[in-house]
Amino acid sequence: MAKILFWNVKRWGDGSDTDRHKFREKYVQYLIEQHQPDIFLFCEITSSLTLKSDNVELEKIGAVVKRDPKLRGAQLGYGALYLNDDLLNDDGHIVYEIPHLLDKFSLSNHPAIKTSSQFDLISKRKVIQITDYGGVKLFLYHANASSRASDLVAWISYSLFRDKHIKNFVLIGDFNCEPATLKGKINELIPSIDHKISIRNGKYKTHSDGGIYDYVVYSGCDNLSLNGIYDQWEFQNDLNGRKYNISDHVPILVKY
């Protein structure tokens, strides 16, 4: 069984507020000790950083490089801590290139491609293959915070399902849309196979605005489970006499 932690850390990098950085690092250590994950995944990494407690480099990965140099450094990326070497890809993380919808799927009327059929021209971030373990490929994605979020995640789900090299998959991330919205979009995009693609989310909010945005889309993993981790609110009390909102998202723990 693989155990995966995922957390949107609300912009974390070497330029983060010093005390807030310490508080986040303390919470990451706590989560690892409490839940013993095989892999800990992050999104909203602003730059590579070093976790000083373990002297571990958390590399920023997966940002789409923009043509405007002023925007390149501002793009949010991912981070991955591999805590079980059995789950390491031989080549580390792998960018999964999403096929053009118009070229491969003949879906010219779908809302996701009104502007472009090229995924990277719409999405702010790449899709990353994190591991291939136990016959299941694990992918990570952070959707745009816009009305296009459900289109993009449905597009990825369809691509993964149709890929002849992928038998079973789990797509984890902050999808910036509610599960019911995404399910409707997947049903619209791929009505003949929607019953073979599942969504699993927790019962409670994962964002401070009351939304459920952090969850998984998967196929072929009948025993998959997901739980939100809500002790962050208790953790956000005081450090040096101050209170900190270390993230607007709660972490999720996925087992499959």
**Mind listing the pLDDT tens digit of every residue in the chain (256 residues)?**
999 999 999 888 876 667 778 888 888 999 999 999 999 999 999 888 888 766 678 888 887 655 455 544 457 899 999 999 888 877 678 899 998 775 555 555 555 455 566 888 788 899 999 999 989 999 999 999 998 899 899 999 989 998 999 999 999 999 999 999 999 888 877 766 556 899 999 989 999 899 999 999 999 998 999 999 988 656 655 555 556 678 889 999 999 9
Residue 227, token pair as written in the block? 């739980």
What is the model's pLDDT at position 241?
53
Structural domains of the chain in order of their starting residue, each with its CATH number: 3-255 (3.60.10.10)
User: Using one digit for the tens of pLDDT, what is the confidence trace for 52-80?
Assistant: 766 678 888 887 655 455 544 457 899 99
* b/e code 49-60 from CB counts within 10 Å (16+ = b): bebeeeeeebbb
Between helix 149-162 and helix 179-189 the angle, nearest 10°, is 50
Distance of CA 249 to the CA centre of its chain: 12
Distance of CA 48 to the CA centre of its chain: 17
Q: How do beta strands 127-133 and 3-12 pair?
A: unpaired
pTM of the entire predicted model? 0.89
Residues 6+ apart with CB under 8 A from 87: 2, 38, 39, 131, 133
Nearest to 210 by CA among 182, 248, 243: 248
